[in-house]
Amino acid sequence: MTRDEELAAGFTAARPRLTAIAYAIVGSHADAEDIVSDTWLRLQATETRSAVRDVDGWATVVVGRAALDHYRSARVRRERYVGPWLPEPRVASDAPVDPADRVTLDDQVSFALLVVLESLTPAERTAWVLHDLFGLPFTEVADAVGRSPDAVRQLAARARKHLRGSAPRVDVDATEHARVVTTFLAATGGGDIAALVAVLDPEVTLTADGGGQVTAARRPVHGADRVARFVLGLAAKNTDEQVRVVTVNGLTGIAMFRGDALSGVISLTVVQGRITRIDYVRAPDKLRTSSRTDTP
């Protein structure tokens, strides 16, 4: 095997994990794929090709650094975003998914977790993702973030403290989650406000992201009664949409279609049998890249 073939094989093996790292930092799979592709181009450069011995380790640091830079720029751009900003969901049908791909792209990076990570600073988020989520030692995290190992250790600790009270549980029972989603759909489809309120947490929040391109609530909706009435209003208004149960970042979610076009994705966060968050992505740009038909 030639040196170029060795590098290509190593990078191909690392690519799903690299994409997952970038996705967890930037919140967009399309941007994550661009970051990983740019990293491959850098690896192909003559001076880099001859020096790299550990492709996975080198690429992880490069991807982490590039994702951090991208996220810093994106945070500035989001100040001009119309309405709430939500991450880009990853949607899969009921078709079988490669178990290794599901671990890297879904189970470790749930949609609810991506939403909570938005509350961290870019450096905190990157340090926490690289160390706590993907197990990198602080010496390598330091190379990616551009700070000392002690500094990134403090960043990760601050992120951990911030997330402790708000991050979703990682041991979500998938069967229970699916049952709650089914109950939610049945209540919505039947127009049963009492049943819908019963499955919602009293402090539930609904956030809609239309990206300024389609109609969506400009502010989050809070409280079980208000959210239930809002959801039933949407269902009554959008009778031309087909509702399908799909997988959203590894857990049961909901997708809406107009014809063959994906028009909306709903991710539900379930805690102790009740829905605590409803995240409704309608921004066309995010929906165009959310399909899992072309996983890396």
> pLDDT tens digits, the chain, 296 residues: what are they?
787 888 899 999 999 999 999 999 999 999 999 999 999 998 888 666 777 888 999 999 999 999 999 999 988 887 778 889 999 999 986 544 444 444 444 445 789 889 999 999 999 999 999 999 999 999 999 999 999 999 999 999 999 998 887 655 545 688 999 999 999 999 999 999 999 999 999 999 999 999 888 878 889 999 999 999 999 999 999 899 999 999 999 899 999 999 989 999 999 999 989 999 999 999 998 998 776 533 33
pLDDT of 291: 61
pLDDT of 7: 87
102: tokens are 């599901």
pLDDT of 262: 94
pLDDT of 143: 95
pLDDT of 295: 34
Q: Where exactly are the structural domains of the chain? A: 3-83+120-164, 174-294
196: tokens are 């819908």
pLDDT of 149: 97
Architecture per CATH, 174-294: Roll (3.10)
**3-class DSSP assignment, residue 248:** strand
The DSSP line for 24-83 is HHHS-HHHHHHHHHHHHHHHHSHHHHHH-S-HHHHHHHHHHHHHHHHHHHHHHHGGG-SS
pLDDT of 190: 95
Q: Are 77 and 276 in contact (CB under 8 A)?
A: no
pLDDT of 232: 96
Torsion of CA 154, 159, 164, 165, to 10 degrees: 130
Long-range contacts of 44-51, Cβ-Cβ distance < 8 Å, separation of 24 or more: 44/7, 49/3, 49/4, 49/7, 50/3
List residues bridging with 61 in a β-sheet: none
So what CATH class is 3-83+120-164? mainly alpha
